[in-house]
Copies of this chain bind each other. A is one copy, B any other.
């Protein structure tokens, strides 16, 4: 049974994440806080490994990209210049009776049309089958009101498009009754706070809703202090915050999350489409390098007419999550809009000098932006599998296995003495364990039957188990290397193990 055929994959992943300490609800003993999550002992290692792989591949192993780390709270003028103060909003609908709040673009309604006449309205929250839900609601509406005639197939309409006349007639999803929904209003998603002892408009500041502006605001500092020349990139990872109206799908859409963004600056005359394609390909290759299944990845080009006026094009790399195909990594060609905005707002010139043409210009930018928590979730969903296997005694059992790439697995090797009560075995095992621990995250386990110990490692995605047995200490020093996915076992020397790790974990 592969990941794709696991029924309720999402439930299985969330359950494993909780059971084995990958992800906890934030402040769980206080009932949790909607849209906030904590990473447990295994989760923090997996997350750190993904982050470090990205950093190494994006920054340290390249000559044309440098890293920075900017503050979460920046000068409020940054967010005025970037357009976030005015425009970073979601359409919000209140239900005055239930006090529930909905995103208007996630709330759908449909007219109940019988024999060509509108008899009323039904509503449903966006789901895998919004139209089906609306159709069922319409049928129920017709039945309950004992309306005779032929019901037309429903047409789903986003609540943002409801007319003034329709709004009072659309039922609230909370109460099922019309009359309580308000017209949509723009709700700014930036968290607001105050810096300094005074709480007035002059002290308002925001938690950054994206890390990208840090790269733009520090652009000149990087140019002036580093030895960079076009084309070059500035990258950072770090927390961002969005006061989502309806956080959902586990860590997919949360209110506090971590981004990994890079701004790649190119000459104004350079071929932006070529660079755009380059970075889409780079991002896809990188996702494959950390083990995401190619079968789950696809591309989505944003419609030209839906792009911001300054945007030349945006392509999303999509991932097939259990709850649908969703955006994972956005690669946007943003022209020179951001640097231009900051030049205007700050009065500090952002142009750089072209030695060839002797002209000054503001560089254009390609921006690959991805959420670390989303990759984390994609990794778990892509790696999770339940398999029917046969245990040592020939009994059929289900094994849960996380097929994580060795690059990002929280534990690289589990070192297992065959028996707990034979000191010669445990001593040698501990010696190997300590040696490996200097370079790698390793785990020592001597408790229980060897088969059960393998299963425990399978479930957390440990690529290799090494078993120290009597042959190890009495014969040639080799030990059993057991591979997670194939479950194959072979004898290896310590040198062979070290070479394997050196090649696979990087």
Interface residues of A (CB under 8 A from B): 18-21, 24, 26-41, 43-45, 47-48, 55, 60-61, 63, 66-75, 77-78, 92, 101, 187, 191-197, 205, 207, 214, 217-218, 220-222, 225-226, 236, 239, 241, 243, 245, 255-256, 342, 345-346, 348, 437-439, 441, 444, 506
Contact = CB atoms under 8 A, between A and B. Distances in A.
Given A66-B41, A194-B191, A346 B29 contact: yes
Contacts of A63: 444
29 contacts: A18-B225, A20-B225, A21-B225, A21-B226, A26-B71, A26-B73, A26-B74, A26-B75, A27-B75, A28-B221, A30-B75, A30-B78, A33-B74, A33-B75, A33-B195, A38-B71, A38-B221, A40-B68, A40-B225, A44-B68, A47-B69, A61-B437, A101-B196, A192-B193, A192-B194, A193-B193, A193-B207, A195-B243, A239-B239
A24 B225 CA distance: 10
Contacts of A72: 239, 256
Contact of A70 (B20, B38, B197): B38
A47 B241 CA distance: 23
A70 B24 CA distance: 9
A32 B217 CA distance: 11
Contacts of A346: 29-30
The dominant DSSP class at the A interface is mixed
Contacts of A239: 72, 239
Contacts of A220: 29
Contacts of A191: 73, 193-195
B44 A236 contact: yes
A33 to B, nearest CB: 5
Contact of A187 (B19, B74, B197, B444): B197
A27 B74 contact: yes
A194 to B, nearest CB: 7
Nearest to A221: B24
B73 A255 contact: yes
A16 to B, nearest CB: 11
The 7 nearest A-B residue pairs measured at CB? A27-B75, A21-B225, A41-B66, A30-B75, A29-B346, A39-B69, A36-B71
A66 B38 CA distance: 14
Contacts of A245: 196-197
A60 B441 contact: yes
A36 B73 CA distance: 8
Nearest to A17: B225
B38 A218 contact: yes
Contacts of A19: 225
Nearest to A66: B41
Contact of A73 (B68, B78, B256): B256
